[in-house]
């Protein structure tokens, strides 16, 4: 019997788990995929939004601004990449100026610090020389930033795990029913019982809410397609550039990533299928046609991959966080669409606060709030790197040539708490396979390391769990 079970190990579930691990309680996270950060949290724009977008007075606005404020310290505590480079909303038509002004005013009301409308062309062009020549003004938000979405999610999960939270991966919740003492969650791995449930199931959160409550909610998966460009284009812009929603519809953003690539996207396409994360020709065509709305000469020939993510869009377009009115003990964390990544630290605090009060939880005296990220040899001086290789020669064995990732880093990704067990798990932790060749060179070598370290037969190694096996037979089998 657990005190609390959290459904979903995305950024929301991981943040709730970490915040709850500050208290003495028996907590478990159930995740249907083979790794944490396998849902929407792995495929988004990775922007830490300033907070001027969400409607004044909404929970979204409140948690966005709070999450934005918590991010710098959290990135220090949990050692994940975050850069507070600021953002622009570019206005390219005089007639759209009232909309820019509206965003500014909403931001001020939401509590966003440092917002400014810059109309001096010389100034904004000096800050972003690739803005379109017709740009008339920009809304500058210095508190916006960019983050590594994988590392944010993984860092919070690792820290929760180290502080005693259990994680059961490849465990799909199929049904929830009320018991005398709380809840029974039926899964493919048996029944789990708990006093309180946190529903952080992303696009599936409506399914679980509707199982226990008469007040129904409805989540539409809203797909966003992206193109990721090579690192050679990473300096095309210095900060995130948003388009003002205007006569061309919802805009496409252009942003550097924390790893030095350029990201262009997303589209916004409502679909039915909660698993349909494949990009489509139509989606990418739309993206490319809108890509130049704010920034000139985007080098689209340098695209190295495309991907898409699904926003968990609830009909009322606000976060639903709290105990379901007619299902005591069932805490929703639903409708967490953008800015969910930004808000995650605040979401975790809010849910943990609710549960602390309900369960009268006492502080965990052994809680350790810090965590060390993967050792990055690139961050070392030449002398330090040589010493590292002498001490551990695996850091001298280059596995991914595009991203310059060594065997030492891959071993670290496998051996650390909640370590990687698939190619994607290693990719998200180390970047091996994320470069220009998109894992063409390093996949077999990474698979050999996984096989050797974890004892997984080569035929059983997967890209991302389930039936995504990479080796389906040997050449000789064919004869
Ligand atoms: C295109 C796009 C762009 C975005 N850009 C930004 C941005 O720039 N900035 C920002 O702040 N936010 C952004 N977001 C929003 C942000 O990515 C999400 O709000 C956030 O990742 C949601 O996290 P989550 O943990 O709630 O959901 P998820 O990450 O989807 O996690 C839910 C987890 O629940 C698991 N699960 C589901 N069903 C079950 C089950 N039956 N049993 C067990 N486990 C289950 C899933 O496998 C998944 O791991 C964007 C989203 C999209 C799609």
Q: What is the pLDDT of residues 196-224, one digit of tens each?
A: 999 999 999 999 999 999 999 999 999 99
In the predicted model, residues of the chain with pLDDT beneath 50 are: 247-249
* Best residue among 40, 69, 465 to mutate for probing ligand 1, ranked by most atoms within 8 Å of CB: 40
Categorise residue 30: left if φ over 0, alpha if ψ from -120 to 50, beta otherwise: beta
Q: How far is the CA of 428 from the centre of ligand 1 (A)?
A: 15
* Best residue among 14, 44, 192, 197 to mutate for probing ligand 1, ranked by most atoms within 8 Å of CB: 44
Q: Which residue CA neighbors atom 48 of ligand 1 most closely? A: 39
Q: Which residue CA neighbors atom 37 of ligand 1 most closely? A: 201
Task: Dihedral sign for Cα 472, 406, 438, 11, please.
Answer: positive
3-class DSSP state for residue 348? helix
CB 464 within 8 A of CB 34: yes
CB 302 within 8 A of CB 263: no
pTM recorded for the entire structure? 0.97
Categorise residue 455: left if φ over 0, alpha if ψ from -120 to 50, beta otherwise: left
Which parts of 244-347 are beta strand (E)?
Answer: 253-256, 262-265, 269-270, 303-314, 320-323, 330-334
Q: How far is the CA of 81 from the centre of ligand 1 (A)?
A: 19
Residues 6+ apart with CB under 8 A from 43: 224, 226, 277, 307, 308, 309, 310
Closest CA relative to residue 359, chosen from 381, 336, 329: 329
* CA 159 centroid distance within chain: 16
Q: How far is the CA of 461 from the centre of ligand 1 (A)?
A: 25
171-197 burial, b at 16+ Cβ within 10 Å, e below that, comes to: bebeebeeeeebbebebeeeebebbbb
3-class DSSP state for residue 312? strand
Distance separating alpha carbons of residues 406 and 408, to the nearest angstrom? 5
Ligand 1 atom nearest to 67, measured from its CA: 11
Instruction: Give phi and psi for 209, each to the nearest 5.
Output: -60, -45
Distance separating alpha carbons of residues 341 and 10, to the nearest angstrom? 10
Structure tokens at 336: 């967490």
Distance separating alpha carbons of residues 441 and 444, to the nearest angstrom? 7
Q: Which residue CA neighbors atom 3 of ligand 1 most closely? A: 44
Looking at the annotation, which residues are catalytic? 49
pLDDT reported for residue 358 = 97
pLDDT reported for residue 250 = 61
Distance separating alpha carbons of residues 219 and 216, to the nearest angstrom? 10
pLDDT reported for residue 388 = 97
Residues 6+ apart with CB under 8 A from 166: 27, 28, 29
Return the ∠ at Cα 113 (arms to 110 and 114), rounded to 5°: 130
pLDDT reported for residue 411 = 98
Instruction: Give phi and psi for 309, each to the nearest 5.
Output: -130, 160
3-class DSSP state for residue 403? coil
* Angle (deg, nearest 10), helices 149-162 and 11-20: 30
Ligand 1, pocket residues at CB < 6 Å = 7-13, 30-33, 38-41, 44-47, 49, 172-173, 200-202, 204, 224, 266, 309-311, 336-342
Structure tokens at 59: 């929970």
pLDDT reported for residue 246 = 58
Distance separating alpha carbons of residues 138 and 39, to the nearest angstrom? 33
Structure tokens at 260: 């030095």
SS3 content of the chain, % helix, strand, coil (to 5): 35, 25, 40
* CA 70 centroid distance within chain: 16
* Best residue among 61, 191, 341 to mutate for probing ligand 1, ranked by most atoms within 8 Å of CB: 341
β-strand partners of 223: 269, 310
Categorise residue 218: left if φ over 0, alpha if ψ from -120 to 50, beta otherwise: beta
Residues 6+ apart with CB under 8 A from 10: 36, 37, 38, 39, 40, 41, 153, 200, 202
pLDDT reported for residue 337 = 96
Q: How far is the CA of 157 from the centre of ligand 1 (A)?
A: 14
Residues 6+ apart with CB under 8 A from 264: 226, 227, 229, 252, 253, 254, 287, 291, 298, 300
């Amino acid at each position: 019997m657990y005190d609390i079970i959290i459904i979903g190990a995305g950024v929301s579930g991981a943040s709730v788990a970490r915040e709850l691990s500050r208290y003495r309680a028996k907590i478990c996270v159930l995740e249907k995929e083979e790794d944490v950060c396998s849902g929407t949290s792995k495929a988004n724009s990775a922007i830490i939004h300033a907070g001027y977008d969400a409607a004044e007075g909404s929970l979204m606005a409140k948690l966005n601004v709070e999450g934005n404020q918590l991010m710098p310290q959290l990135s220090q505590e949990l050692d994940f990449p975050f850069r507070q480079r600021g953002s622009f909303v570019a206005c390219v038509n005089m007639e759209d100026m009232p909309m820019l002004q509206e965003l500014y005013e909403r931001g001020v009301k939401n509590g966003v610090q440092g917002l400014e409308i810059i109309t001096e062309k010389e100034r904004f062009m000096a800050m972003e020389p690739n803005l379109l020549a017709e740009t008339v003004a920009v809304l500058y938000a210095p508190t916006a930033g960019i983050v590594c979405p994988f590392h944010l999610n993984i860092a919070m999960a690792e820290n929760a795990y180290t502080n005693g939270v259990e994680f059961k991966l490849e465990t799909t919740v199929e049904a929830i029913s009320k018991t005398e003492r709380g809840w029974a969650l039926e899964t493919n791995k048996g029944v789990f019982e708990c006093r309180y449930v946190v529903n952080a199931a992303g696009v599936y959160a409506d399914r679980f809410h509707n199982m226990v409550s008469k007040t129904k909610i409805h989540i539409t998966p809203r797909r966003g397609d992206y193109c990721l460009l090579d690192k050679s284009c990473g300096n095309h812009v210095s900060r995130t550039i948003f388009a003002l929603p205007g006569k061309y519809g919802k805009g496409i953003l252009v942003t550097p990533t924390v790893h030095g690539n350029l990201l262009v996207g997303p589209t916004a396409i409502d679909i039915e299928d909660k698993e349909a994360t494949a990009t489509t020709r139509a989606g990418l065509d739309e993206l490319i046609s809108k890509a130049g709305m704010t920034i000139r000469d985007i080098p689209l020939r340098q695209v190295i991959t495309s991907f898409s993510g699904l926003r968990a869009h609830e009909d009322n377009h606000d976060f639903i966080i709290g105990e379901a009115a007619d299902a005591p003990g069932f805490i929703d964390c639903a409708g967490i669409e953008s800015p969910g990544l930004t808000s995650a630290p605040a979401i975790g605090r809010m849910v943990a606060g609710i549960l602390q009060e309900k369960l009268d939880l006492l502080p965990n005296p052994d809680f350790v709030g810090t965590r060390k990220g993967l050792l990055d040899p690139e961050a070392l001086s030449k002398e330090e790197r040589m010493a590292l290789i002498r001490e551990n020669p695996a850091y001298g064995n280059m596995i991914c040539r595009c991203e310059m990732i060594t065997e030492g880093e891959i071993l670290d990704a496998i051996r650390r708490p909640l370590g990687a067990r698939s190619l994607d798990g290693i990719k998200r932790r180390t970047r091996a396979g994320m470069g220009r060749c998109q894992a063409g060179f390093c996949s077999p070598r990474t698979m050999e390391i996984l096989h050797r370290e974890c004892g997984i037969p080569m035929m059983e190694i997967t890209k991302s769990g389930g039936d995504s096996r990479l080796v389906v037979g040997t050449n000789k089998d064919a004869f």
